[in-house]
Amino acid sequence: MLVPGVWAGAPWLVGPAAGAASVALFWGVVRRAEQHTAVALGAAMLFAAAPFVAFMAGSHMNHVTALFWIMVAVYALTRMGGADEPRPLFAALAGFALGATASIRPVDAIAFAIPAALWMLTRAVKHPPCWSEVAAAGAALAVPVAGILWYNGQTTGHPLLFAYEQLWGKEHGLGFHRVPWGVAHTPARGAELLNLYFLRLQSYLFESAVPSLATAIAALALSRRLTRVDRYLLASGGALVALYFAYWHDGFYLGPRFMYLLAPVLVWWTARFPALVRARWPRAEVLHRGVWYTMLMATAVGITVNIPLRAARYAGELSSMRADYTGEAARAGVEHALILVRESWGAQLVVRMWALGVPHSQVEAFYRGVDACQLEQAVSAMERDGTRGESAAARLRPLLRDSLHVVRSELSPDYTERVLPGFPYAPLCVARIADDRAGTTILAPVLAQPWGTNVYVRDLHARDSLLLSAYPDRPVFLMRPHGSEAGAPLRLERLDVDSLRAAWRSAAAVPVEESLGRR
């Protein structure tokens, strides 16, 4: 989905474009399935303006493109449901859209595909000519599904093995089991996560003074009948919730992102609330005015207070992901250079464990449960003696004996690093903490930006000597922020190669065990 944006030189436009298309498709659904034109228009306007929907559409998250394809499927199903004669073209469109969703977010696709399949099968049983719809939907769905199966085969070696599972192991999947970094996902934890998702929806969906789900729940309680589209969306939403009940990760970004696909049905029922109150109590004019007054005041508070505060918060967060990394070199006229990107000590430890062949899921457990200085000691020792793979993981496991006692680091701005109280930090570890305090950034966003004639690499201190040998004729620069404050501007520092080599030799002259000290 990002490729057209990349071709156009503006991949950031894909999210807003998909969000706008989702609004148009939602209008196409509600104007056909909603009996009150005013409610349909209000629902479409509310969906377009809902902060959670809009903020997410401004991101690169794949929930946005998944919602686009789901809305294509819902629109196609809506066009099928109102007629008894077969409509195989719309069935094929629905099947293709659900298959496209599966190539983006398979779990979300399952939640919407199963009720759609039951709908089509029931329709075909009642009207045998509609079996052509089932065949058309199945054939169209197979096209994108075949694409993702082929892609998996080319990347992981097996059509059913997704990259996430290849990276994190079978523990990444659905079910109640140990998660990749060791914590057990139980039904109680699943219920806790669902409760958290819906509590967050109360705030993030509309950012209003009234809990966002209150009106939708009340409208559903007041409704006397459900349309075909209502039943489909509610069934799909229930399936989505059930599937994420069995998923271990707390998916929070700009709100409860795993529940993002519930936005259309929640918005629709919210828009229905005033009309349903009037239908249930037609003579209670004071109640009708109270409902409208409350909703208008809640909206006014959201527009004037909550949404601006949320927007300001988002503008200041994750600034490192939006930095113009390669632009600094262009502005400074730096070309044909080797640029070392200074990441935090913790990030360096993680990739060094990866390089030793320690499985990613176990790396996460070691990083979360072991003092950073102890990890430095163990990793450095294995790098020297050539320990790799399972042997490296086996040598690290005893360090987890103190995992209940480690705490978040207050020594470094990178609070993900762990500290074991009472473990002494000798010169090497102190130097890494000082590096963190001087300012660090991240390499990953650089990989998605054009480098020009420069080469950007992760700074790993003495290990960079291999890079100097690989690029002997390039000037060397260090890229890091001006300090550790969030949003600090990046800077390039020209490094003297001879001084670097001398510093690395000096550090190598002291055995790591002596440098780190003992308890």
Q: Side-chain half-sphere of 422: how many Cα atoms within 13 Å? A: 4
Q: Where are the domains of the chain?
A: 3-316, 325-516
Quote the CA–CA distance of 84 and 215 in Å, as a whole number.
Answer: 34
Q: What is the 3-state secondary structure (H, E, C) of 53-117?
A: HHHHHCCCCHHHHHHHHHHHHHHHHHHHHCCCCCCHHHHHHHHHHHHHHHHHCHHHHHHHHHHHH
Secondary structure (DSSP) of 136-205: HHHHHHHHHHHHHHHHHHHHTSSTT--HHHHHH-GGGSSSSSB-TTS-B--HHHHHHHHHHHHHHHHHHT
Instruction: Name the token pair of 122.
Output: 């029931």
Question: Does residue 438 sit in helix, strand or coil?
Answer: helix
Q: Sign (positive/negative) of CA torsion 161, 163, 165, 168? A: positive
pLDDT by 10s per residue, the chain, length 519: 989 998 988 888 999 999 999 999 999 999 999 989 999 999 999 999 999 999 999 999 999 999 999 999 999 999 987 667 889 999 999 999 999 999 999 999 999 999 999 999 998 998 889 899 999 999 999 999 999 999 999 999 999 999 888 888 888 888 998 887 777 899 999 999 999 999 999 999 999 888 999 999 999 999 988 989 999 999 999 999 999 999 999 989 999 999 999 999 999 999 999 999 998 898 888 898 898 988 888 889 889 999 999 998 888 777 777 788 888 888 889 999 999 999 999 999 999 999 999 988 889 889 999 999 999 999 999 998 889 999 999 999 999 998 889 999 888 888 899 999 988 887 888 888 998 998 898 898 888 888 889 999 999 988 888 888 899 889 999 999 887 777 778 889 998 888 888 877 766 555 544 444 433
